[in-house]
Structure 1
Amino acid sequence: MNTNGLLDRRMCVAPMMDWTDRHCRAFHRVLTRRAVLYTEMATSPAVVHGDVERLIGFEAAEHPVALQLGGSDPAELALAARTGAALGYAEINLNVGCPSDRVQSGRFGACLMREPDLVGDCVTAMIEAVDIPVTVKCRIGVDDQEPRDALFTFVERVAARGVTTFIVHARKAWLKGLSPKENRDIPPLDYPLVRELKAARPDLEIILNGGLESLEHGLGEQYGTDGIMLGRAAYHTPWTLAEVDSRIYGETDPVANRHEAIDAYRPYIALQLAKGVPLHAMTRHMLGLFHGCPGARQWRRILSEKANRPGAGFDVLDEALSATALSPSEAA
């Protein structure tokens, strides 16, 4: 049975291809205990037929963490969802928002906004396969669709099949004429439409996503919805996550300054280095940690230039930290 479960989605970090891998999620988790983290999208054929540990393996310390799947075959998605649930994920999320050409050619992602009944078949199969929440991340429409009609019709039909949580990227996706990058910037945002959806369907959990430039911005726009999902803002300026627990959940933040964040991440880095994972696989997710601070450029430069060298280790991280010349109190 699909319910909202025990997940508190007032703050989520978006699934982002090539970014929110397991190393990124481990880093974000030292900054916030409470935000719900999402994997990169994994296609259902890859999960069913590929190397599961490599594709969607994760550490228990990442919880609460959700698996995002892409696909349009109900039986295959059910198998992939069952695999994710068996690994211990807290939620399975279906991608109905990605606008890339590769996704369209596979008949999944944002093009499925045009096929709500197929999405309904998919989520029905997934819900029947697992005992954890099945959620949907979508756009407000695609191409020439009228957003209000497209979004409300889509949500109505998919909710009728048992989904109670929708994460809505408040932009259309233009599948013809715009690149994936342009689709994140050019189509206008319509936050009021997402709030209108929540007002019309108070029984559903509606999470606002798209174009939220900071935690402050997100908190300012979230009224009338149930929570926010930050994407690029969380990735490029990760220190913003360090105040999530106090500002949103009323709890003590896990780290008081950037030095503590790095120290908290060190055991994970050490474990991965011992497995033969190159340093830059972890440190590439830390490049924005000192954004806006003196020494931020030196921090990024040293990590970018030296962390990918053979045998790179903590000496590189320490050099980069020293280059910021910030005391712990200054790094808060």
Structure 2
Amino acid sequence: MQVKFFLKNRIFLSFASVALIFNSVSYAASQAISIGDKRFQTPRHSFSNEEVWDFDDKTFKQINGANYYGVFKQGLVSDITLEVFNPKQSLQGAKLEILTLNHSSEEILEVQSMHAANPMDKNLHPIKILPFLVAGSSLKGDSINNKLLIKEAELSSAVFLEPSNIKTKNPPKKEEKDKINYVISGGLAREGNAKNNTLELLDGSYINMGVENIYNLKLNGAPYAVGGLAIFGDAIGNSLLAQKGSKVDIHTASFYRDMVGEFILDERITHLVGGLAYNGKVEKNKLNLNGAEFNIHAPSGLYSSFAPVHIAGAFVDGNGKKAYDATKNTLVIDNFLLNLRADGKTPIFYNAIF
């Protein structure tokens, strides 16, 4: 399926409430490897069979990865480039050759917001934000002209993986219900503005996030691929470009009725946004889909799948005290490919809603 069209917004006001609480000014993520003046690259990584499987007890081990930034500091952060390059080395071990998150609590920013909640409910709800890959991250300062390049790499939020050298049953589901927003962004500004930052998804990049394993596909969060993100600041002139050869998986997300009969959507879905601001305006941000491949990915055995995705030039949440403008933001879709992925034996027939 190929689509081509162009959208540009003039005025948009957001009425969702949001309040943010920073757990700490510290940042437990790791700095990527310097490869030049203001240029960084994530280290190569692959899990071993012993890291994912206990051969004595014959049980899965819960894995924990790492979060990376190019530069993080107080004040202005500008002109930083972070490259993510983790190519597959072997067919047998390909599922272990991934970059996945560090889910530790010190990595997480807590947000009190109505986003991802029943729109009829005016109460605030806790939402967790985890910066996974960020080129330039600032605190009490602006993040300007930073660039995140996702090259040949698979990004994951999995906590269970199958070993490559033996056949096992599918991993168990975690008992707790995780709801985390995983941020992949060129620039992140906390108490500052995000300006002219870029996230580029290149040929060979693969965002396969939002589920705790790639077998039963239990949701554990929402990937946010964002050009630039501002918290208590404005997002201006940021961009996300998804090039031909880049892939994004879209997983099944359910919706249900609450006690008063209102529909509630599980918003742990994939989000692709040019510029995102909490308590700030969004202006002149852009998202361009230029041949990206979307895979509607559902567990084997399902008859149908409801698989939503959020694609926007910009998005803004306000605290309810004032309205924030979203102006001159652009969504350009030159073309994209839409595929269906159902693991296991091929079903007789399958319906999917995108």
Check whether TM > 0.5.
no
Higher helix share: 1
Higher strand share: 2
Normalising by structure 2, we get a TM-score of 0.28
